[in-house]
Amino acid sequence: MKLTVWTYEGPPHVGAMRVATAMKGLHYVLHAPQGDTYADLLFTMIERRNHRPPVSYTTFQARDLGSDTANLFKTACRDAYDRFKPEAIIVGASCTAELIQDDPGGMAETMDLPVPVIPLELPSYQRKENFGADETFFQIVRALACKVERTARVTCNLIGPTALGFRHRDDVTEITGLLSDMGVDVNVVAPLNATPGDIARLGAAHFNVLMYPETGETACRWMERELGLPFTKTVPIGVGATRDFVAEVAALAGVAARIDDTRLRLPWYSASVDSTYLTGKRVYLFGDGTHVAAAARIARDEMGFEVVGLGCYNREQARLMRGVAKEFGLTALITDDYLEVEQAIAELAPEMILGTQMERHIAKRLGIPCAVISAPVHVQDFPARYSPQMGLEGANVIFDTWVHPLVMGLEEHLLHMFRDDFEFHDDAGASHHGGAAMARPEQAAANETAAPLRPGEPGGEVIWLDAAERELRKVPFFVRGKARRNTEAFAAERGQREISVETLYEAKAHYAR
């Protein structure tokens, strides 16, 4: 048993629901107890879908246990077919049904339904949501895709976007446009908005674009092997990655690597002088492997941040993550325990966190700016406006999103100049954030952003003299935590027991960037 409060991923059958809900003309018959329908509202509320997920639950209850559950399953299957007339059905079990061993796949096969029935084996007690989506899509592709004649024009499939995917809707639009600029058409997007009939046409493409390895890689590998479709390895998030992706597509499609960057603004925004203050901002990255790997590259090469830590919650991407971490001279944190993430962040005291909904709350608690780069996300990250992560507009969106939580450069500069001003001071907060400005309290209260030191930590033994403590409070709040830690580390290294104003400035000089 593992004590869990927050889980980054749902169970694997939720991954299967993400594929079923993404598609059209497909129905999922899920052997599950009453109550498992809670997952419907992830789609109807968080993603604001205007239809019910195409999932029928057998809804067995205690009184059904024994012999009746198998009949319930057959009835649910039959009713779902009669009512929805899907082109194909996927069947599977939730965690509880896995325990009663009714074999939905075997039962459905004996029912002679007039459409393909695809059984899913999703081990609920070992694997999680992303595996569920990846495996479900793979089984659908394996059952329905076959060799067909290639399209005369160069076309590709976009593989991996699902329901409840972080920005999947707009990434598809952006990449379709990017490919169109190169003269490459999209044959099928799947699973998002694809029908079982579309899946059967996957083989007509010349190659696959693997948009999200978490949910499409197994199907891509199978198509490479069985249908002779190579697939792209670069995920086009960030300017550099998008250019690499275009080059990769050009090679696969035998076209020129054309890219229309008239709309691309990140490079200039990042180069403009207001962005100078971003230099060396210490950022921590956490999320799914794909988005963290992409974000790390953007953070370092396109924003000029310093990546001080990174990790992912999906162990399927552990190898990728360790590779990226090595390149950055870091050790990757592979965990699905948010307490470990919180601890890592508290210890590193970064100036910014790029993560999931969860890291947002960790950030709020620690008083660190944060932007969201990866699922799981809440309703506000399924926005009404166009906001891809991929391609050139994605880069523009990312620049805005990441910079917004930080105090803008000029504002930071002014805060610095007037930090003792009676109205314009640390506690007033940034002008573009909510919350009323606060008058400076008469007794300037320390508003520390750094995590409190615990005994045994380096620096835990040193004492701040009053004058030094007062001087530290004059340091702007967004760098104060770092100043405190640096000074304490500096003092500890030198075996100093006390920190004076002198020590503070010695340390400042020592760590000057």
Helix (H) / strand (E) element for 415: namely helix 409-417
Q: Whose Cβ is closer to another protein: residue 29's or residue 397's? A: 29
Nearer to another protein, 94 or 232 (CB): 94
Considering only the stretches 4-12, 196-204, 207-215, 423-431, report the one whose residues sit in contact with another protein under the rule CB under 8 A.
4-12
Site string for another protein, 46-85 (x = CB under 8 A): --xxxxx---xxxxxxx-xx----------x--x---x--
Q: Which residue has the tokens 């005291």?
A: 349
Binding mask 118-137 for another protein (x = CB under 8 A): ------xxx-x---------
Query: Could you tell me the maximum CA-CA distance found in the chain, to the nearest angstrom?
Result: 84
Does 380 help bind another protein (rule: CB under 8 A)? Answer: no
For 283, list phi and psi in degrees, rounded to 5: -115, 150
CA–CA dist 506, 75 (Å, integer) = 77
Print the binding letters for residues 422-461 with another protein: x by CB under 8 A, - otherwise. ----------------------------------------
Q: Which is nearer to another protein, 31 or 206 (CB)?
A: 31
CB of 52 to another protein, least distance (A): 5
Q: Which is nearer to another protein, 128 or 480 (CB)?
A: 128
Residue 274 designated active-site: yes
Taking residues 81 to 120 in sequence order and writing x for each that binds another protein by CB under 8 A, - otherwise, the string is --x----------xxx--xx--------------------
Please identify which residue in the block is written with the tokens 């699905």. Answer: 336
281: its two tokens: 């901002």
For the record, the structure tokens of 12 come out as 């694997």
β-strand partners of 334: 312
Q: What is the 3-state secondary structure (H, E, C) of 227-281?
A: HCCCECCCCCECHHHHHHHHHHHHHHHCCCCCCCHHHCCHHHHHHCHHHHHHCCC
Give the DSSP H or E segment for 283. strand 282-287
What SS3 class is residue 416? helix
Here's the x/- map for another protein, 8-47, by CB under 8 A: it reads as -xxx-xx------------------xxxxxxxxxx-xx--
Determine the interface stretch with another protein among 7-15, 138-146, 237-245, 321-329 (rule: CB under 8 A).
Answer: 7-15
Rounded CA-CA distance 512/298 in Å is 24
**How many whole angstroms separate alpha carbon 30 and alpha carbon 221?**
27
What tokens appear for 18 in the block?
Answer: 């993400």
What is the nearest approach in angstroms of another protein to the Cβ of residue 17? 11
81-92 in b/e form (b: 16+ CB < 10 A) is beeeebbbbbbb
Of residues 64, 103, 274, 336, which has the active-site annotation?
274
Q: CB nearer to another protein: give 95 or 330.
A: 95
Sign of dihedral through CA atoms 192, 196, 200, 201? Answer: negative
Q: Report, in Å, the least distance between residue 68 CB and another protein.
A: 11
- What tokens appear for 77 in the block? 């299957």
* Shortest distance (Å) from residue 426 CB to another protein: 25
Under rule CB under 8 A, how many of the chain's residues touch another protein? 54
CB of 55 to another protein, least distance (A): 10
CB of 442 to another protein, least distance (A): 32
State the minimum distance, in angstroms, from the CB of residue 11 to another protein: 4
Phi/psi of residue 287, each to 5°? 165, -150
Which range, of 3-11, 312-320, 461-469, 470-478, touches another protein by CB under 8 A? 3-11
Q: Are 170 and 391 in contact (CB under 8 A)?
A: no
Nearer to another protein, 14 or 397 (CB): 14
The gap from C-alpha 424 to its chain's centroid, in whole angstroms, comes to: 36
Supply the DSSP symbol for 158.
E
Alpha helices by DSSP H, listed for 89-182, are 95-100, 104-109, 129-144, 168-181
Least Å distance, CB 63 to another protein, is 8
Pick 343 or 496: Cβ nearer another protein: 343
* 308-367: contacts with another protein (CB under 8 A): 361, 364-365
Residues that bind another protein (CB under 8 A): 1-7, 9-11, 13-14, 33-42, 44-45, 48-52, 56-62, 64-65, 76, 79, 83, 94-96, 99-100, 124-126, 128, 361, 364-365, 378
Q: Which residues are catalytic?
A: 274
